[in-house]
Amino acid sequence: RLLFLPRKTSQGFLHGFFDTVNSVQFSNHTGYAHWKGQVLNSDELHELYEGLKLNKVNQYDYVLTGYTRDTSFLAMVVDIVQELKQQNSNLVYVCDPVMGDKWNGEGSMYVPKDLLPVYRDKVVPVADIITPNQFEAELLTGRKIHTEKDALEVMDMLHAMGPETVVITSSDLQAPLGNDYLIALGSHRKSNADGTKMTQRIRVESPKVDAVFVGTGDLFAAMLLAWTHKHPNNLKVACEKTVSAMQHVLQRTIKSAKAQAGEGNKPNSAHLELRMVQSKKDIENPEIIVKATVL
């Protein structure tokens, strides 16, 4: 059972069973020129969670969080996760620390800057799996990534902060397959019975898609949660299935967007809404079209 706190009634279904508490309620995603709506704060999150507790349905195996714009909300997430881990020591918290990204080599934050210390000092230490992009990994560690070696060292720094699994979902590193490919890197650190630690590291190179999508990070984190549940000690397979499914969704989306825009026209934000429903089979059982390399 999953407690899901995404951007958008709390009972529902995803990959089976999940309860949703929306971190924001927006008219549309922020890739559009304008949006209206509300940002949930800690008091409102606490009230909703108390409702789940009163009905004794706050029994979870996973917690997944993504986009938010409120520091008090994030701090309350930490309190809830810690309470849930006291109830279930095997609970896995998956955090997508949504803060910003790089465009043309320059990084910028698209959430308030005061979220960074909360993520770094409070949220990441209680997370089991985190899915930052390169820019977010740099923000969390204060270390710039220029090479793959830098990225591996940054992931080690993130492991030291708490999470057993770190996936840098996208980067501007040079891909061995060429400039038309995007690199993601993953690292899973497991403690053995004798106290020693074993680390599995992987690189995934996926074809670039010439478009700007919104929601890919949410989709990636949700699918990684599902596939690490299916393959808890095999990050390579979990990432291959996650990234392959992403490719199926993006390719279907861009094909549909171009058809809607018409020949010679550039697709707009509405055209580029991810084709999730149309990609249901690929999400549930993706054909592996992207392979990972063990480092």
Q: Is 215 helix (H, G, I), strand (E, B) or coil?
A: coil
Angle value at C-alpha 27, between 94 and 283, nearest 5 degrees: 40
Of the two residues 91 and 1, the one the predictor is more confident about is 91
Residue 12 has pLDDT above 70, yes or no: no
Nearest to 275 by CA among 247, 241, 250: 250
Nearest to 175 by CA among 100, 221, 94, 243: 243
Phi, psi (rounded to 5 degrees) for 242: -65, -50
Which of 27-31, 84-88, 265-269 shows the lowest per-residue confidence on average (mean pLDDT)?
A: 27-31
| The pLDDT value given to residue 138 | 98
Nearest to 141 by CA among 127, 153, 123, 126: 153
Domain residue spans of the chain: 2-294
Name the strand (E) or helix (H) holding 251. Answer: helix 235-261
- Mind listing the pLDDT tens digit for each residue in 141-167? 999 999 999 999 999 999 999 999 999
Which of 133-142, 223-232, 273-282 shows the lowest per-residue confidence on average (mean pLDDT)?
A: 273-282
Which of 30-44, 130-144, 273-287 shows the lowest per-residue confidence on average (mean pLDDT)?
A: 30-44
Q: Is 218 an active-site residue? A: yes
| The pLDDT value given to residue 223 | 94
The amino acid present at 291, given as its one-letter code, is: K
Pick the catalytic residue from 19, 96, 218, 282: 218
Longest Cα separation, the chain: 62
Percent of the chain with pLDDT over 90: 62
Q: Which CATH superfamily is domain 2-294 in?
A: Ribokinase (3.40.1190.20)
